[in-house]
Amino acid sequence: MSNSGTRLPLQFWIVTLVAFINAVSFTIIIPILYPYAKQFGLTDFQASLLTTAYAASQFLGTPILGRLSDRIGRKPLLVISLGGTVLANAIASLTPVPGLLFAARILDGLTGGNTSIAQAIISDTTDPEQRTKAFGIFGAVFRLGFVAGPPLSYVAQIVPPLPGISSLGMSFLCSAAIALLATVLCLLFLPETHQPSGQVQLRWLDFKLGRIFSAVTHPRFGRVFVLTFLTGFTFTIFTFAFQPFFLNVLGQDARTLALVFAAFGIIGFVAQVFGLDPLRKRFGLVGLLAAMLAARGVLFMLIPTFPSLGAFLAILVVFAAVNSFPMPLIESVLSLRSGPQEQGEVLGLNASFLSISNAIGPATAGLLVSLGYRLPFWITGALTLLVAWFALSLARSAPSAES
């Protein structure tokens, strides 16, 4: 059911709070995943497979969760998804063997479709005119959760560990506890927002990988899915290459890097809340999306061109604001092109394309970094400019969509 008027409904704010808590839970483990893997004697390559295992599992599991949420309702699937995170991170905090750590990351990935389900709830409860604003606020609050997670990870490591859990394992346990809080909030305060279709059982078709790849040819959504993949792929090249460039070329330390991450998140949060909706109304979804991607590409290439801390920080301020726009705009395009009985599946498929880009991008960046710290920025900048050009085709691929 849609909400009329300009005020966003209560369900939106509840699910946004749940998403914020879940983002905090997720980002708590980001700073410690690699050193935790080293505690188990894993090689660098094996440690990198923990990220790949999570992203690949999420790629497979998210559209299934989204499709089931169309059939049996959003709330049960959101609870199951959050519960998977609780269980996975609890296992990871206690495991004495690396095999269980991999199993925990796979479980967390398979049940990690809560963001796409939350986005479907937003689509259920908002009018088309509200939707870009709603997705912008949702994305901004979600981004704020990414700012809060790493400091909590640090706190979890300095408190006295519980018996049988290492100091790094305490971050996983803290993550599980925060995800449990989100699960309880969902159970107690979030009403169902979608009328189930009545078909509960899974069909073999729901598990076919071909469904995901065939979605590329869909007349309304195919180009958007491709754009999501390309946008995620180019950005994750940057996210990997950014850290060695900052530390080795600019000569900074890890403490300064943490401050930069926090500033990046805060600027992006402010830009999404106050800039996204006014700019969308002035320039339209597709025009604004293409412009922001083009600006992102130019900024990528400026970073190695002026390799000094002052220039980097100035570029970062603009980049953090620009970078906050593309994904909410893409999600708005998808939401406006899909009906109420398919939005869960569509947003789930979109999240899967983003997940697979998150698995491929860092590996590509690792190969490029081995050839030079500046090269990844030139490559991803040029690719992002091509992605911006491709984004303009969305205006032609679906005449009924806003352009």
Average pLDDT over residues 98-113: 90
Query: What domains appear along the chain, each with residue ranges and CATH number?
Result: 8-195 (1.20.1250.20), 211-403 (1.20.1250.20)
Structure tokens at 114: 């809560």
For the cut 50, the answer to whether the pLDDT of residue 85 exceeds it is: yes
For the cut 60, the answer to whether the pLDDT of residue 84 exceeds it is: yes
pLDDT > 90: percent of the chain: 22
Mean pLDDT estimate for the chain? 81
The 10s digit of each residue's pLDDT in 54-69 is 888 887 787 778 778 7
The 10s digit of each residue's pLDDT in 271-329 is 877 887 788 777 788 888 999 999 999 999 999 999 899 999 999 899 989 988 888 88
Q: What pLDDT shows up at residue 210?
A: 66
Query: How sure is the predictor about 388, in pLDDT bands with cuts at 50, 70 and 90?
Result: very high
Does the reported pTM lie above 0.85? no
The 10s digit of each residue's pLDDT in 10-30 is 888 888 888 888 888 887 887
